[in-house]
Amino acid sequence: MMGKFPRSKQIGASGKSVSATTYIAVGISGAVQHLQGIKACRHVIAINCDPGAPIIKRADLTVVGDAEEVMQALIARVGQARAQSETPEGQV
């Protein structure tokens, strides 16, 4: 974490525990201290460029790739899906 996150923003042994239905770990290695904070999460999706990262053992779904590229693609797909759902029937 390179000292960028204060304790109040950390998830894990020295930060908060979260209980999300789906937790998306973007560029998170999956250190034991971090895993402690996501024990209660039902589903974990990992986005990581290292197929050997420990988070992958905890994840239900893993996308191996560059986080920025994957997130941009995901945001674009969500935008498309939203635009389609907002288009009135019969219009393109």
Residue with tokens 């201290």: 33
Task: Pick one of 18, 20, 40, 49: the residue that binds ligand FAD (CB under 6 A).
Answer: 49
Q: For residue 28, give the H/E element and its range.
A: none
Among positions 24, 31, 45, 71, the unique one binding ligand FAD when judged by CB under 6 A: 31
Residues 63 to 92 in contact with ligand FAD, rule: CB under 6 A = 66-67
Which residues does 29 contact at the CB level (< 8 Å), separation at least 6? 48, 50, 53, 54, 55
Residues near ligand FAD (CB under 6 A): 1, 10-15, 27-29, 31, 33-34, 37, 47-50, 53, 66-67
